Every structure is written in structure tokens, then in C-alpha cells.
Structure 1
């Protein structure tokens, strides 16, 4: 019995066709009925996670939303803000300068709106509707005059790969960087990742992280797998994610989460 079950979304909770299998839904519901908390841990914003939970029929009881890679952690039922970590204004400006210099695009969520620097940016047209949000074109995020949880740099995979070292060199020590997909580079405040989101929740609720289990498949899931008592990589996970996990289960298309929880 686990006190907390933290799950990544794409490639983990959802199958390749973006659906949740009945077996996995039942396994998670049974665990929650027995007292476990379900944490949706994702790069998606809070609004997008609520939209997803509603679409999947997960219900809000015993549900926690760890959004923007752990920068915003919220109790879904009570709307209590457990964690709220934001990027410094100067860092936002530096990231936007880099994005412009390299000819890339960036997005940031704010409330129910996804702000993008360019309408023609890679996957920009899909991000907002996928999260049940609106799209606005905002070339400079500093103009929003609001604290931001993350910046998402987006580009065709080969192009983004060419510039990863540049971002890492420029932002090292000033922000956390992780790939959530071959075309998405997630930039969050220093020390903020899915692992910190899990630890922040455990500290707020006086839970031992050793009683948590976490499931993931991608690079930005690794911190969460490492801090949970049991870190589980999906069968479809990247090789270095599998290597960093405590165990490997079946793929997201083969009910990998349920394979573990049903034991």
C-alpha cells in the first residue's frame, strides 16, 4: 500500500492513443479508495491537468495536481496551493533573448491562456487546445507582468537538440532544464522539478517520501523517480530513465501502472 502515487501523463498514464485504459483507471481508483493520494505530475499547467482529470473521469477526491514540472502543486478538490515557485523576471528576459537569437519559439501558461512568442512556432497551435486553454501571441513574456512557473521552448527535434548545450551553458545554476519531449525544453526555477514537487507535497502533508511510488518515462520524470520510495520506469521509457529507476514495468500501452499496483 502506497500513501502517494505520482504519475506522469504522456507515455505513462495515457496510452499512445491518448486514452486511459479501464484496467489502469480501476487500479488507481482502488488504490485511492484504500487511502492513497493520486498525484498527476506533469509539465502541463494546472488548468490543463484539471481539464485532463475531467476528460478522464478521474474525480477530484484525493487528487493532487503537480503542474509545470512541480512549480505549482495544488489540492484539486480544495484548490489549496501547496507550492508556488516562479521564475525571476531577469531570467525570463534572458530566456526570451536566447529564443529570439536562435530563431526558436517559446510558450508559457498563465491562468487559462497559453502565451506563445510566435504563432508559427513548432506545435504552438496544438498546445493550448490540448489543455483546454486559449492561445495568445505575446512576443515578450515580461509584458505580462505576472510571475511565471515555467517557459517551454519548442522547436523541431533536430533543431532543438542543436541548441541544448547553448541553453544549458547560459542558464546553468539559474534554472532547471529538462526535455519533456524531443521538441519541448522545460525551463523552471532553480531546484524545481517533478521531484521537488513530490517532496513539497510530502512535507506539507507530513508524508514520508519512502511511502510514495512514482511512474514515468521521460527525462523530466527522473527527479521524481529518484526521490520516491519506489521509482518505476515504463517499458517504453528512455534507456537512461530505466537505468535511474528502481524497477521497470510494462509499457503505457500494456497497463504498466496497473501491473505494479495490482500486485
Structure 2
């Protein structure tokens, strides 16, 4: 068994199956991981916080693709990115006759503090055009279009956490499946993409697992488990 590194891991497509249900086999892995675990996701902060809460692990999270960073050990919450610009994009997109696509209650956007998300069943080209007008970019995570500030990403989020904890990003193992994991892959010491990852993630990873989804995550961490 290799020495266990701190771990940064995505949720959707990495800890889940293809229906986005978390595979319960990952729970003991995360709960028993002996080093720092960072949950890094495109989801709003309540989702990774809840995952950590119910796992019983320290709440150390990167949410909204780096827009939100929380470190429980130092009680530090950082909000990064231009939320006002993302809200303006949403308004302009609606004025063009489109919707965000998550219904009236819109749980996908309800708790977001730095970006917005748009359903994949909505047109991409006008969204990208409007986002560019406001200095933002659109990330396709395979689960939604994220309208986000290009100055933040999971890599900057990991760097912010490491600054709080006096750690080095290069000490981390990062596991993910999407283009929004690529910047974290760039700064982590070891980066592994699960087999269902998109081409951007695969190209930036050090290696790609043979297995898909949560099976791929379990394969990625197997060398570090007893």
C-alpha cells in the first residue's frame, strides 16, 4: 500500500452512478480516509456540506466550481466570483426567450452564491454569447451548463484551502470526471479521471481508470487502502 495522500474528489459522475445517485460503497472510503478530504463540486455549498455532515467528516469543500470555499478547521468561508454578472446573464437569457430549465422552485440555483446553472435541455449558443458579454464563461459538466467567473475554478479553490491549512496542493490526489475538474488536476500531485470522464478531464489527468463512475473512484483510491 502506498502512503495515503490528502484527497480531493468530485461528486457527480465520480462518487455516483450514471443516474447521479451516490454509490454507498464510497461512504466508508471517505469516512475512513486518514488524511484531509476535500469535496469539490459544481453544486451549491449545501450539497457538499450535507454530504460531509452525514458522513461525519470535516466540512472542507469547494463548491460552485471554486466560487465557494469553506474550511471548517479555520471557520473560513470565501465567496469568489461575480454573482451579479451571473444573475445578469440569467436575466438576459430569459429576455431572449429561454429559461434556466429547472422549474419554478429551481433547487439547482436556489442556494447559489457565485454562479448560475442552466439545464442541458436549453440552447447553449445564446447562453455562451450572453455570458461572454458579461465576462463569464460556460462550463458543460455533463449535468448542467455552469455560468461562472473564469478567475475561479476547482484549482483555485484547492489552493485557497491549502493556504488555510498550510498544505501544498501538489500533495493531493484528485479524482474527477469533467472539464470543471481539469484545473484541480493541474495543481494536484496526482490526478485520476474515471473512465466516464469527458475528453478534457482525461487529457489533463495522469491516468484514467478502467472502471466508470463510482467503480472508477474505488479503482483510483485502491492503491492507498489497506
- TM-score in terms of structure 1 length: 0.72
CA 1:92/1:242 → structure 2, altered by over 3 Å: closer, same or farther? closer
Aligned match of 1:119: none
- Are residues 1:153 and 2:153 paired? no
Aligned match of 2:14: 12
- Are residues 1:202 and 2:162 paired? yes
More strand as a share of residues:
1
Separation of aligned partners in 2, 1:201 and 1:243: 25
Question: What is the deviation of 1:168?
Answer: 5.2
Corresponding residue SS for 1:16:
coil
- TM-score in terms of structure 2 length: 0.82
Q: CA RMSD in A?
A: 2.9
Gaps of at least 5 residues in structure 1 are 107-121, 137-146
Separation of aligned partners in 1, 2:127 and 2:168: 35
Give 1:83's match in structure 2, choosing from 67, 78, 98: 78
Is the 1:214–1:232 Cα contact (8 Å) retained in structure 2? Answer: yes
CA 1:93/1:256 → structure 2, altered by over 3 Å: closer, same or farther? closer
Question: What is the deviation of 1:97?
Answer: 3.9
Question: What is the deviation of 1:246?
Answer: 1.0
Is the 1:46–1:67 Cα contact (8 Å) retained in structure 2? Answer: yes
Aligned match of 2:45: 46
Gaps of at least 5 residues in structure 2 are none
Separation of aligned partners in 2, 1:262 and 1:38: 16
Is the 2:154–2:180 Cα contact (8 Å) retained in structure 1? Answer: yes
Aligned residue pairs, count: 220
Aligned match of 1:123: 102
Is the 2:128–2:138 Cα contact (8 Å) retained in structure 1? Answer: no
Is the 1:176–1:191 Cα contact (8 Å) retained in structure 2? Answer: no
Aligned match of 2:56: 59
Aligned match of 2:141: 180
CA 1:2/1:164 → structure 2, altered by over 3 Å: closer, same or farther? farther
Is the 2:154–2:181 Cα contact (8 Å) retained in structure 1? Answer: yes
Question: What is the deviation of 1:99?
Answer: 1.1
CA 1:230/1:190 → structure 2, altered by over 3 Å: closer, same or farther? same
Q: Deviations over 1:222-245 (max 9, x none)?
A: 111122111111111112321121
